[in-house]
């Protein structure tokens, strides 16, 4: 069987999206209407969308985020703001490197070819970007300043090197930051993450933990994202408590959020991979400990994180003394205690902690309840509220106190005895920034045997990447740069002796932590950015991008901005004032993927339906933060609507500049109401409803032409011009064509937002709903300023009401003039 393919062009009543796209693109490129003026002639507004990673051409996700972002940017252009809406590429990173290995070429070849492909697609997509500010993070002119900024952090001890057990991706052969480990897997490639002990570079993000929390109240971000950041930072209030150890001078400090349970601390646990464990293990227990440590190191993060897993551990042979009970307690090592949280050691309180209970039960350690469980409690560890019990010695008694009071009392006592202190602990850890890969900005440090870590002098920046390609980029656990001896070996800038460059590159999230600052003064050569320009534009008014960056880019960028502020480099303390997270584009209920074969190609969609119809489909699909399922949508319907709207422009018979005030009042009112509502809807990101309102206006205008006041009525021109301007935010080609057909010069993008006449927003009659016991019985047309008394009388006199009451008396009448009356019958 063969299928007949009808390739006759569909008659779209003269609407030809291909012709429009071909016609208007060069006109706009010549006019260049979206270049930021930055001359003080209008209020500045910085509109930012997350820049793109150049792996292949644009996909459906780009189509959505760009379409949504452009509604906002174009709206502000229409409103007369001096909008800066820049575009660039986050062009360092692993995919380019992996492609280069496969193709035996330089990562730059793949990277810059994809950038050109994407740039062409973005231009076709008709976005209101200021191309003059374009940047690529892999350009030496850019990463020179990434390196310079790193050195600013280094000089202030905000970048430092330390040895630690770090997250290691065996597939990508590089370390990862905590934020890049998602459910025990590599954020990039999905492989299980293991641990390695390595000396690596860190940014001291923890120094900003509290301010990252405090300043959240300045941000108009989705509550969900703020919450994720709050949880990630993980502030907990508690206390340190010191435990003396037999045969050791220095006591062990533990962090606890439950100092009230100190009397129940029946043993102590340290992280096996913490230094402390090594110090506390006795010769008798050495063999058992070494074996345990080996097993722990071999386990993946996924195994380790599983809460289902039975507790494991080993007795270290050492004993500590509980400071309040004086009991001698065993010290164990177990991997349920984390080396890098708190002090890497805990007091175990099995009576009140589930994990400690499990551990005590398994290894036969003592359990003491120090909080009285509720009546009927028959579980194991009791974590609920209750009065303290078994918590008294000769000097202090907590017995009978509720948890809060017991905490305060015991902390005061500990502080008095110099056995502990009140403290706050954070879950956030420092940002590990070294990567053992090639395609990134080299860390500009020289390691000298006599001088230590020496910064590369500023006049020698950038430290450029040596030319490596193909197999030379193969990951092998150390950076490919390490093999380039002529690049590695340098004279120490301080003493002139033999020294070596740091061979790691920076996490690409460093590049993206300041690109929004570079946009303010592109091409600036005196520094990373021109301070005046940054202070004029920052903070960005609006940021649009995906929520997958909640605790990655969005947290790092906040940290960078605060640190640079403290360095005196800029005024802003937060990078992004308003944040919109768009949802994902999925297909048939699932994320698009090659293996599922459910991918939809953006380019194909644009070929079939045109840019405007696809943009409109994305915007109209639903609230921007919801995921949209392409299978549920109808680009064909969007296209039909655009044709209907477009045909209005060809129908208008009145002349340019006609006095609208003579036009049909009902249509004029609808036009002004629509424009006024559209502003509110855009400000609150309800673009789908905004589009629905434009559809209503189009339908009403069509009706006015066909069966109302007619095509020559000035109100029809007013409405159609408003439609063109409103549509210019979503469907720029169609809008521009309408604008021309209406007799105007390009570009509609700068036509200006229609002025709303407040007098036309006033209704001269309102439909009042009359209910009996909450059920609608009648509708009355009333004046908007009708008095409550008049309205009540009118409602009670209504025939329908009298009939429905059927002789029953009236108990109560609620009047909400002029919209509603509710009568409660007796």
Q: Which of residues 224-263 bind RNA (CB under 7 A)?
A: 224, 227-228, 231-232, 234, 236, 238, 254-258
- Which listed residue (767, 787, 789, 802) binds RNA by CB under 7 A? 767
Smaller CB separation from RNA, 191 or 547: 547
342 contacts RNA (rule: CB under 7 A): yes
Which segments within 698-774 are labelled E, that is strand? 766-772
Q: Tell me how far, at minimum, the Cβ of 557 lies from RNA, in Å.
A: 17
E strands, 443-534, in order = 445-448, 452-455, 489-491, 498-501, 505-506
Is 384 among the residues that bind RNA (CB under 7 A)? no
Rounded distance between C-alpha atoms, residue 177 and residue 201, angstroms: 11
173: alpha, beta or left, given left = phi > 0 and alpha = psi -120 to 50? left
Of all helices (H) and strands (E), which one includes residue 190? none
Chain-centroid distance, C-alpha 634: 29
Query: In the numeric block, which tokens belong to residue 50?
Result: 């997350």
Identify whether the C-beta of residue 92 lies closer than 8 Å to the C-beta of residue 511: yes
Q: Can residue 393 be called a binding residue for RNA (CB under 7 A)?
A: no
Q: Which residue lies nearer to RNA by CB, 288 or 800?
A: 800
Q: Which stretch binds RNA (CB under 7 A): 82-90, 191-199, 524-532, 812-820?
A: 812-820
Under a CB-based contact definition with an 8 Å cutoff, are residues 167 and 177 in contact? Answer: yes
Report yes or no: 465 and 147 within 8 Å, Cβ to Cβ: no
Nearer to RNA (CB atom), residue 255 or residue 315: 255
Q: How far is the CB of 303 from RNA (least distance, A)?
A: 8
Q: Write phi, then psi, for 328 (nearest 5 degrees).
A: -85, 125
Query: Measured between alpha carbons, how far is 437 from 474 in angstroms, rounded to an integer?
Result: 9
Q: Which two tokens stand for residue 543?
A: 């940021």
Does 774 help bind RNA (rule: CB under 7 A)?
A: yes
For the bound state, the minimum distance from the C-beta of residue 146 to RNA, rounded and expressed in Å, comes to 26
Scan residues 255-314 and list those touching RNA (CB under 7 A).
Answer: 255-258, 271, 304-307, 309, 311
Q: Under rule CB under 7 A, which residues in 155-214 are in contact with RNA? A: 182-183
For position 776 contacting RNA by CB under 7 A, the verdict is: yes
Contact 444, 463 (CB under 8 A): yes
Taking the complex as a whole, the smallest distance from the CB of residue 552 to RNA amounts, in Å, to: 9
Cα–Cα distance for residue pair 7/189, rounded to 1 Å? 43
Q: Does residue 483 belong to the site contacting RNA (CB under 7 A)?
A: no
Q: Which is nearer to RNA, 402 or 825 (CB)?
A: 825
User: Please, where are the H alpha helices in 351-491?
Assistant: 354-363, 403-416, 485-488
For residues 92 and 137, the answer to whether their CB atoms sit within 8 Å is: yes
**641 contacts RNA (rule: CB under 7 A):** yes
Closest distance between RNA and the C-beta of residue 275, in Å? 14
Pick the closer one to RNA by CB: 282 or 634. Answer: 634
From the list 39-47, 278-286, 399-407, 764-772, the region that binds RNA by CB under 7 A is 764-772
User: Looking at beta carbons only, is 27 or 305 nearer to RNA?
Assistant: 305
* 518 vs 702 by CB, closer to RNA: 702
How many residues bind RNA (CB under 7 A)? The answer is 90
What minimum distance in Å lies between the beta carbon of 335 and RNA?
6
Contact segment (CB under 7 A) with RNA among 440-448, 484-492, 699-707, 757-765 equals 699-707
- Residue 96 has phi, psi (to 5 degrees) of -65, -35
Site for RNA in 540-579 (CB under 7 A): 547, 550-551
Shortest Å distance, C-beta 807 to RNA: 16
Strands (E), 749-816: 766-772, 775-782, 810-816
628 interacts with RNA by CB under 7 A: yes
CA neighbor of 271 nearest in space, from 262, 279, 260: 279
- Minimum CB distance to RNA, residue 811 (Å): 8
């Amino acid at each position: 069987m063969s299928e007949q393919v009808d390739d006759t062009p569909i008659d779209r009543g003269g609407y030809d999206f291909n012709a429009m796209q071909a016609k208007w693109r060069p006109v706009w490129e010549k006019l260049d209407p979206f270049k930021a003026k930055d001359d003080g002639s209008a209020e500045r507004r910085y509109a930012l969308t997350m820049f793109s990673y150049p792996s292949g051409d644009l996909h459906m996700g780009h189509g959505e985020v760009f379409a949504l972002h452009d509604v906002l940017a174009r709206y502000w252009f229409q409103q007369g703001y001096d909008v800066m809406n820049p575009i660039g590429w986050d062009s360092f990173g692993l995919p380019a490197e992996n492609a280069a290995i496969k193709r035996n070429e330089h990562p730059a070849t793949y990277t810059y070819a994809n950038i050109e492909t994407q740039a062409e697609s973005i231009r076709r997509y008709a976005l209101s970007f200021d191309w003059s500010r374009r940047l690529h993070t892999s350009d030496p002119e850019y990463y020179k300043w990434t390196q310079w900024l790193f050195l600013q952090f280094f000089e202030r001890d905000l970048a430092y090197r330390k040895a630690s057990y770090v997250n290691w991706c065996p597939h990508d052969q590089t370390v990862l930051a905590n934020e890049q480990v998602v459910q025990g897997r590599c954020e990039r490639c999905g492989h299980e993450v293991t641990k390695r002990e390595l000396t690596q570079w860190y940014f001291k993000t923890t120094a900003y933990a509290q301010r990252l929390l405090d300043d959240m109240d300045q941000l108009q971000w989705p509550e969900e994202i703020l919450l994720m950041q709050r949880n990630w930072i993980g502030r907990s209030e508690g206390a340190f408590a010191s435990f003396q150890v037999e045969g050791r001078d220095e006591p062990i400090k533990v962090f606890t959020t439950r100092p009230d349970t100190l009397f129940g601390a029946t043993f102590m646990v340290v992280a096996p991979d913490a230094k402390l464990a090594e110090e506390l293990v006795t010769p008798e227990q050495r063999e058992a400990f070494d074996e345990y440590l080996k097993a722990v190191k071999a386990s993946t993060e996924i195994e380790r994180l599983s809460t289902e897993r039975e507790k494991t551990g080993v007795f270290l042979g050492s004993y500590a003394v509980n400071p309040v009970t004086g009991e001698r307690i065993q010290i164990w090592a177990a991997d349920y205690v984390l080396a890098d949280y708190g002090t890497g050691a805990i007091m175990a309180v099995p009576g009140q902690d589930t994990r400690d209970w499990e551990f005590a039960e398994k290894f036969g350690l003592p359990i003491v309840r120090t909080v009285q469980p509720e009546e009927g409690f028959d579980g194991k560890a009791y974590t609920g509220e209750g009065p303290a019990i078994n918590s008294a010695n000769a000097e202090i008694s907590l017995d009978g106190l509720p948890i809060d009071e017991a905490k305060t009392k015991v902390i005061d006592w500990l502080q008095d005895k110099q056995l502990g202190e009140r403290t706050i602990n954070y879950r956030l850890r420092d940002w590990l920034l070294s990567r053992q890969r090639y395609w990134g900005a080299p860390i500009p440090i020289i390691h000298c045997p006599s001088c230590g870590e020496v910064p590369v002098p500023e006049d020698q920046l950038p430290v450029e990447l040596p030319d490596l390609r193909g197999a030379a980029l193969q990951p092998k656990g150390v950076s490919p740069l390490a093999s380039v001896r002529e690049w590695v070996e340098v004279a120490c800038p301080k003493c002139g002796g033999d020294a070596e460059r740091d061979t790691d590159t920076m996490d690409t999230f460093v590049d993206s932590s300041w690109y929004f600052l570079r946009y303010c003064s592109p091409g600036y050569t005196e520094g990373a950015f021109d301070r005046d320009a940054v202070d004029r534009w920052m903070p960005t008014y609006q940021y649009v991008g995906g929520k997958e960056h909640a605790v990655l880019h969005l947290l790092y960028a906040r940290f960078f901005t605060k640190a640079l502020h403290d360095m005196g480099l800029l005024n802003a303390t937060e990078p992004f004032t308003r944040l919109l997270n768009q949802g994902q584009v999925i297909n048939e209920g699932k994320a698009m993927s090659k293996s599922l074969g459910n991918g939809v190609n953006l380019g194909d969609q644009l070929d079939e339906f045109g840019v405007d119809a696809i943009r409109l489909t994305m915007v109209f699909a639903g609230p921007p933060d919801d995921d949209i399922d392409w299978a549920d949508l109808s680009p064909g319907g969007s296209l039909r609507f655009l044709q209907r709207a477009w045909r209005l422009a060809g129908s208008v018979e009145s002349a340019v500049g006609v006095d609208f005030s003579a036009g049909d009042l009902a249509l004029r009112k609808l036009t002004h109401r629509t424009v006024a509502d559209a502003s509110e809807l855009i400000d609150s990101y309800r673009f789908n409803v905004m589009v629905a309102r434009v559809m209503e206006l189009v339908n009403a205008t069509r009706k006015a032409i066909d069966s109302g006041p007619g095509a020559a009525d000035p109100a029809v021109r007013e409405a159609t011009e408003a439609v063109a301007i409103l549509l210019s935010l979503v469907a720029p080609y169609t809008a521009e064509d309408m604008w021309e057909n209406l007799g105007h010069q390009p570009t509609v993008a700068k036509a200006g937002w229609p002025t709303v006449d407040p007098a036309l927003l006033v209704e001269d009659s309102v439909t009042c709903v009359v209910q009996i016991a909450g059920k609608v019985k009648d509708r009355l047309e009333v004046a908007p300023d009708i008095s409550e008394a008049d309205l009540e009388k009118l409602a009670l006199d209504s025939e329908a009401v009298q009939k429905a009451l059927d002789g029953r008396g009236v108990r109560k009448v609620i009047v909400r003039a002029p919209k509603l009356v509710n009568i409660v019958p007796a």
